[in-house]
Structure 1
Amino acid sequence: MKTRINAFEKGQSAMKAMYGLAIYLAKSPVEQALLNLISFRVSQINGCAYCLDMHAKDLRSKGETEQRIYMVSAWREATVYTDRERAALAWAESVTLVADSHVPDAVYEQVREYFSEQELIDLTVSIITINSYNRINIAFRTPAGDYVPGQHAVVTH
């Protein structure tokens, strides 16, 4: 296979805009562990190996259990997730698959039970951000497997 562009090295100006979203989300009132879990689930849906490697390692390094990481693709049947997490996972799947579902009203009503307006905005920004990263990594075939936990941590002060 022909080598592709390293978007993170060659597209630094464009990526700087993306990093601004990460800096914003680092200050979100939504739990960072939940945002990472959502990023992992969205990356599963999109098939982004780089992001799966990254978020699995970050989740583990922050104390997430193997059981919860392994079962997130079957979260509807698993009993290890809270109602708040389930609402966020349903929202993440609907927003990611917007062309299929147009985010059903029932999913919106469910997520509104557990998230304030600001939290829902931040959750949505997090979902669209990981979808963008997935598409960049998939398009440019960013190699997976070498990520070190915290490697892309943002400085917020």
Structure 2
Amino acid sequence: MAIVRTMTITENRLNMMKLSRDSYGAMLALNSTTQQAALAAGLELPLLELVRIRASQINGCAYCLDMHTKDARHAGETEQRIYALNAWRETPFFSEVERAALAFTEAVTLVADGQVPDAVYRETAEVLTEEQIAALTWVIVVINAFNRVAITSRVPVGDYQPGSH
């Protein structure tokens, strides 16, 4: 018999922007810095959004999924690729670079299950420069942090408008 958990999903536990203004502002600044570094390193915005979506899928963060699927579409990503992202290995829709970035995202996001495997790192290093890997790592670290904040505080989902962050 399955255990059914019920909760009010619209109930915001904590308003982290209000209660931790300085820390939240530092996270926003870190997010901006990491995105600028990733773009400067040659990683494209649609790829960064795919990475954010994939990490948010793994972590089960509804708010970040809502935000980054909207931002991905706003950045030109297709519905088909967004819908297939959870099964990216089984589709022909993603490039070699995207596949490496997604595998790396999964390994970093699931680091509690073990270290980032050498094979995943090697595959990533075959298609990305060290600068790109460093930038990608920070993007993944930041989205994982935001996932934890949004899940813990139960940020209400659905009202985010693309490009507003």
Structure-1-length-normalised TM-score:
0.93
For 1:35, the equivalent position in structure 2 comes to: 48
1:85: how far off? Answer: 0.3
1:3: how far off? Answer: 4.7
Letter of the 1:11 partner, please give it. Answer: S
Letter of the 1:24 partner, please give it. Answer: T
For 2:3, the equivalent position in structure 1 comes to: none
Structure-2-length-normalised TM-score:
0.88
1:32: how far off? Answer: 1.5
> Equivalences for 1:16-55 in 2 at 5 Å?
16-27=25-36, 28=38, 29=41, 30-55=43-68
Which of 7, 18, 25 is the matching residue for 2:16?
A: 7
- Percent of matched pairs sharing the same residue: 49
1:116: how far off? Answer: 0.8
Give the 3 Å change call, closer, same or farther, for CA 3–32 of structure 1 in structure 2: closer
Which of 133, 139, 146 is the matching residue for 1:133?
A: 146
1:147 paired to 2:160: yes
For 2:4, the equivalent position in structure 1 comes to: none
Query: Radius of gyration: which is bigger?
Result: 2
RMSD: 1.2
Q: Which ranges in structure 1 are unaligned for 5 or more consecutive residues?
A: 153-157
Letter of the 1:116 partner, please give it. Answer: T
d(CA) in 2 for partners of 1:132, 1:7? 13
Letter of the 1:52 partner, please give it. Answer: L
d(CA) in 2 for partners of 1:68, 1:91? 18
* Count, aligned residues: 152
Give the 3 Å change call, closer, same or farther, for CA 105–13 of structure 1 in structure 2: same
d(CA) in 2 for partners of 1:38, 1:3? 26
For 1:155, the equivalent position in structure 2 comes to: none
Give the conservation status (yes or no) of the 8 Å contact 2:49–2:71: yes
Please identify, of 27-36 and 120-129, the stretch whose mean Cα deviation from structure 2 is larger. Answer: 27-36
1:73 paired to 2:95: no
d(CA) in 2 for partners of 1:141, 1:117? 36
